Structure 1
Amino acid sequence: MNQNTSPLLQVRGLHVAYGKTAALHGIDLEVGKGEIVALIGANGAGKSTTLRAISGLLKPTAGSITWEDKPITGWSADRVVAQGIAHCPEERHIWPAMTVKENLMLGGFLCRTHAEVEERIGMAFHRFPRLRERQKQLAGTLSGGEQQMLAIARALMSEPRLLLLDEPSLGLSPKMADEVFTVVQEINAHGVTVMIVEQNVYNALSVASRAYVVETGRISASDSAANLLQDPDVLNAYLGA
């Protein structure tokens, strides 16, 4: 991140607990405008919990979250979305009994008019031609890759400035995972900042500019993605080198 500019998102000393079980123990991170920043680490390390706290799905027990120099710690999820942060959750969570277009319409709940919803759906179909072809199809009948495309398109219906992506390649074939990561890069190239949680460390570091390594609810390392791809500890722990 450019050190001369304020970060778009800043997280300081973030603690989150599930009941009496602590999940995050003082997470510090920041995301600059226009970046793709990855959170990498093992299952249960706290990566998804971090995204949920940022998007308002979980309430932190301590620490701060600042968005564009504005404190948003503990805000409700709908207020966070209205500020320009969209969360595409793990396992997609589309509405399977609704059509592709109906899923997108629900993603446009912030739009003020039906015409605005239709305009954004048109933009989604332009970006994801496969969804246009299947717009009347029930979302639950789509392939895994198509469902992931729909989940991303639905998140983009709010026209976010920051997109939080949780495990976008989960359960996908390598070919389809490559397609998803190509879409992530295209979205970023069109001005959307991206924060991505991904267990496929190689894919995450291939598209990210910077990354944080999360271990047992703490940040254990942070560096450029290129440097982390050359780090022997990261290679041994996550890439099987």
Structure 2
Amino acid sequence: MSTITMDAPDTALGMVEPVLRVRDLHVSYGSTAALHGISLDVHAGETVALIGANGAGKSTTLRAISGLLKTRSGSIAWNGTSIANRPPEEIVAAGIAHCPEERHVWPGMTVEENIALGAYLCRSKDEVRTRMGMAFHRFPRLRERARQLAGTLSGGEQQMLAIARALMSEPRLLMLDEPSLGLSPRMAEEVFEVVRAINAHGVTVLLVEQNIHNALAVASRAYVVKTGRIAAARPTADLRGDPELLKAYLGG
């Protein structure tokens, strides 16, 4: 079996400064420690995946970055500026959007109303309409269902709705938490085609994904998270090409 090594966070892209730099991040839920010194980098234009077992700390990492959880110690820098423990709305305004696990759409509101919620920091009605038009251009299926209640959509359509809502803030970094959760393989692939297209248009992506195949197919680099720590940082090509290495990182 291949020797397990862990690259330093910056080595994958040389000395280029990352847009997101997380160092020695510790987060607790009450008296229970959830993250034990997470460090990671994300560079502009990348899609980076966090992979690992349920409960490893992947979603907690995203929630700490987006300001939904307070950090106990460590640092989070966005374009060189500290954002640790800043209010979530300030982090959204800085250019980071978080599409949460299980989507959290408002079932009793229409598709159009749900999407508009993502532009709550935008003060111009004309700009909201422009962004809404772009959302419907990206997601033609949602345009067809604009007046339909979100609760009547399929799981895949609700995931697209959640992504469209997140994109209304025009983020430079989109964080996606389990976008294929509960979806059929066909619908999951459709959602990941959307993720690829978003990244191709210049949006950096940080992805948490339980389906290892999907994560490694869409990302260029991956961090393996185990019990609140980074166990490995590797190009996804290495992990795809060495199943034994991936099995070692993930513990079987």
Which category of TM-score, normalised to the shorter sequence, fits these structures? over 0.9
CA contact (8 A) 2:25 2:71 kept: yes
Counterpart of 1:64 in structure 2: which amino acid?
S
User: Scaled by the length of structure 2, what TM-score is found?
Assistant: 0.93
Q: Could you say which residue in structure 1 is the equivalent of 2:35?
A: 24
* Deviation by residue 1:161-213 (Cα, 9 ceiling, x = unmatched): 00000000000000000001100000000000000000001110111010000
Q: Could you say which residue in structure 1 is the equivalent of 2:193?
A: 182
Q: Could you say which residue in structure 1 is the equivalent of 2:224?
A: 213
CA positional deviation for 1:112: 1.7
Identity %: 68
**Pair 1:162-2:162 in alignment:** no
CA contact (8 A) 1:85 1:164 kept: yes
How do 1:1-241 residues align onto structure 2 when only pairs under 5 Å count? 1-231=12-242, 232-235=244-247
CA distance in 1, matches of 2:38, 2:150: 36
CA distance in 2, matches of 1:105, 1:178: 26
CA contact (8 A) 1:11 1:64 kept: yes
CA positional deviation for 1:235: 3.8
User: Scaled by the length of structure 1, what TM-score is found?
Assistant: 0.97
CA distance in 1, matches of 2:251, 2:57: 19
CA contact (8 A) 1:95 1:140 kept: yes
CA distance in 2, matches of 1:195, 1:239: 23
User: Which range moved further: 222-231 or 145-154?
Assistant: 222-231
Counterpart of 1:233 in structure 2: which amino acid?
L
CA distance in 1, matches of 2:14, 2:109: 45
CA positional deviation for 1:21: 0.2
User: Gaps (5+ residues) in structure 2?
Assistant: 1-11
User: Gaps (5+ residues) in structure 1?
Assistant: none
Q: How many residues align?
A: 240
